[in-house]
Amino acid sequence: MRFPLICYTSTSFCVLGVIGCTALAPESRFEDIDALPAERWAASKMSKSGVDHNWVKRFGDRELTRLVQLGVDSAPSMRVARERVAQSRQDVNIAGASLKPSADISMGVRRNKVNFIGGSFDGSTVTNNNNSSFDVSWEPDIWGSKRAAKSAVIGEFQAQQQELRAAKALLAANICKAWFSLAEAREQENLANKALTIRKESAAAIERRFKRDLQTEGGSASSLRLAQTDIATSKATLSQRSGEVEAARRQLEILLGHYPAAKLKGRSVMPAIGASAPVGLPSELLLRRPDILAAERRYAATGRRVEEGKWAAYPSFSLTASAGTSTEELRNILNSSFGVWSLGLKAFQPVLTGGQVKAEQLKRDSSERQALAQLQNTVIKAFGEVESALANEKWLVRRIKDYNDAHRLAKDAYQAASEDYARGTGDVLTMLNAQNRRIDIASQIALLRRLRAHMRVDLHLALGGGFYGAKQK
């Protein structure tokens, strides 16, 4: 899954879409962030060799990769995000229109009648007035306020583009998590089936001893009822797991924009998660995160709004020109012999505004400070998410290892207890206890493996992509 980046330079920004590369885009203001740490996590050849953006493919599951692409292409949430970008693109066009001259053509026909009563003349007079005109007006951007306004709108457009990327990444992450949850649900269902089989075998062994009327603890009626209780509990657990499988299927289908019919099969076991994150993830990787880029673009846009407001107190000028005809006869409305024209220059200077201009400027200054604080907060939050994801995965890997060791021991204990019970040298409670531990630990391992997969997805989301070097792609 590849999510393309928008590269910003210190002098201009390449705005994708209809506006192309333009100097009107706000310049980068990342240097104003004081939340970036002075040192990297570490330095390594792997971190310097390039960044892997195909993180979904790193799970090695072609069906998952296909579903993620399907969701990103057609999910309703993605259509909503794309339309927001389309609307923001048109805002750029609207803002740019004020920089250009405007022209319009008009034609009018009027017939007037005036009545005169009293005095030396009684009666009425009728006049006709037919006119056509071609009017042009232009307000030159002498101080650059309109260019600053358009630049701010471009910054907002760039922020919307980044939010589209963020929506794609979030949807991809949610689809991955739903896929892993479905895999875990199916694995838990299989484990519940196996647990039911194991407990039926144990109950059968206890029943055989009970029927032989052995006067031992293992052959007591209470032991048989206990084993039968475990069977009933296993059946209830199996029903619960089957319901969880259906719920996981519907959740995945909803994310894909499909009708939730619980038809997707998914994997029957959790896929293997690759090696842990390599040492040497540089902090610069976080600058790929679309939420950070969007926050930076909005901060840059507020800076241009501040510049726009500074020129509001300066005089503005407008040029107008008009050419057309004016005649009493409609047939002469397009006859140049009846032509009229005009040229005009207008200057406007605000004098008394009741403090509105100053208040607007103070408001823009506050918005700029707010945008900077939001950017810094986003960066700090991003570092926190990365550090938490790295730490959580490290401890989770240790837990899985310990549980695997416990499962192996529980399996051996159950095997030995079963053999002792069959020979008549063991007691039923030891066998049932070992059996339940084996079943519970296996279920816990499936849960932890799913949690690790979710944490790996969270790490990729926190990093804004993959963490492998380009040579490893």
Local confidence band at 54 (pLDDT 50, 70, 90 cut-offs): confident
Q: % helix / strand / coil in the chain, to the nearest 5? A: 60, 10, 25
Task: Specify the range with the lowest mean pLDDT, choosing from 134-148, 271-285, 427-441.
Answer: 271-285
Q: Is the pLDDT of residue 53 over 70?
A: no
- Quote the pLDDT of residue 22: 44
Residue 60 vs residues 2, 125, 169, 281, 427: alpha-carbon distances, Å: 15, 91, 18, 22, 47
Give SS3 for 111: strand
Local confidence band at 118 (pLDDT 50, 70, 90 cut-offs): low
The stretch 101-113 carries a mean pLDDT of 85
- Quote the pLDDT of residue 468: 54
Q: Is the pLDDT of residue 157 over 90?
A: yes
Dist. CA 191–CA 447, nearest whole Å: 12
Q: Is the pLDDT of residue 439 over 90?
A: yes
Rounded percentage of the chain residues whose pLDDT exceeds 70: 85
Local confidence band at 11 (pLDDT 50, 70, 90 cut-offs): very low
Task: Specify the range with the lowest mean pLDDT, choosing from 8-12, 57-61, 274-278.
Answer: 8-12
At 173-204, the pLDDT tens digits run 999 999 999 999 999 999 999 999 999 988 88
Dist. CA 52–CA 277, nearest whole Å: 12
- Quote the pLDDT of residue 225: 86
Dihedrals phi, psi of 281, to nearest 5 degrees: -75, 115
C-beta atoms surrounding 330 within 10 Å: 11
Which residues are bridge partners to 323 per DSSP?
A: 134, 341
Mean residue pLDDT of the chain comes to 82
Residue ranges with strand state E in 284-327: 316-327
The stretch 119-125 carries a mean pLDDT of 67
Local confidence band at 214 (pLDDT 50, 70, 90 cut-offs): low
Q: Is the pLDDT of residue 9 over 50?
A: no
H/E stretch holding 125 reads strand 123-138
The stretch 398-420 carries a mean pLDDT of 92
Give SS3 for 123: strand
Local confidence band at 327 (pLDDT 50, 70, 90 cut-offs): confident
**Between these two residues, 111 and 376, which has the higher pLDDT value?**
376
Local confidence band at 45 (pLDDT 50, 70, 90 cut-offs): very low
Which residues are bridge partners to 102 per DSSP?
A: 137
The stretch 217-225 carries a mean pLDDT of 68
Q: Is the pLDDT of residue 210 over 80?
A: no
The stretch 83-100 carries a mean pLDDT of 91
Q: Are 255 and 75 in contact (CB under 8 A)?
A: yes
Strands 21-22 and 102-116: unpaired
- Quote the pLDDT of residue 6: 35
Q: Is the pLDDT of residue 145 over 70?
A: yes
The stretch 416-429 carries a mean pLDDT of 82
Local confidence band at 213 (pLDDT 50, 70, 90 cut-offs): low
